[in-house]
């Protein structure tokens, strides 16, 4: 099972965990990303390319399912305005064994950051600026080949 959602609504962790656990496998690894208040960020606004973003996320998830024989992969990503502390992303990987689930979870978050078309704008002291891609994200994604 692959679940992809790009949404403006808050991420419902209990509901997402229930769906991931329905795969009925030995282990589920998850990652939840929060909006950080780095250097005074007041608001983070995410934009995406509807259709293309979901397709890119599905390709990332399908790659994880194939590589680690997952029974389920979930990616839920927020768009729109958010404030520090808001959940921005949730990924889950369900596999028969923990090692596969943990590796697949890391793959999902590393690859989505570089493979899916999202644009970030940070607001500090009322001034907005677009966020450039980070070399560290490209390096993390690159380790998966």
pLDDT in tens, 38-74: 888 999 999 999 999 999 999 999 999 999 999 999 9
**Confidence band (pLDDT; 50, 70, 90) for 86?**
very high
Q: Are 73 and 23 in contact (CB under 8 A)?
A: no
- 81-90, 102-111, 127-136: which range is least confident on average? 127-136
């Amino acid at each position: 099972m692959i679940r992809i959602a790009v949404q403006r609504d808050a991420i419902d962790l209990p509901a997402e965990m229930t769906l991931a656990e329905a795969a009925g496998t030995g282990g589920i690894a998850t990652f939840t990303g929060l909006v950080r208040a780095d250097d005074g960020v007041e608001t983070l606004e995410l934009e995406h390319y509807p259709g293309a973003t979901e397709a890119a996320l599905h390709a990332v998830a399908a790659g994880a399912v194939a590589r680690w024989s997952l029974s389920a992969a979930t990616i839920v990503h927020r768009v729109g305005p958010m404030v520090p502390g808001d959940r921005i992303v949730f990924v889950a990987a369900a596999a028969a064994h923990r090692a596969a689930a943990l590796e697949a979870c890391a793959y999902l978050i590393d690859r989505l950051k570089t493979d899916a078309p999202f644009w970030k704008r940070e607001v500090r002291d009322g001034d907005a600026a677009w966020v450039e891609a980070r070399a560290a994200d490209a390096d993390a994604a690159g380790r998966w080949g």
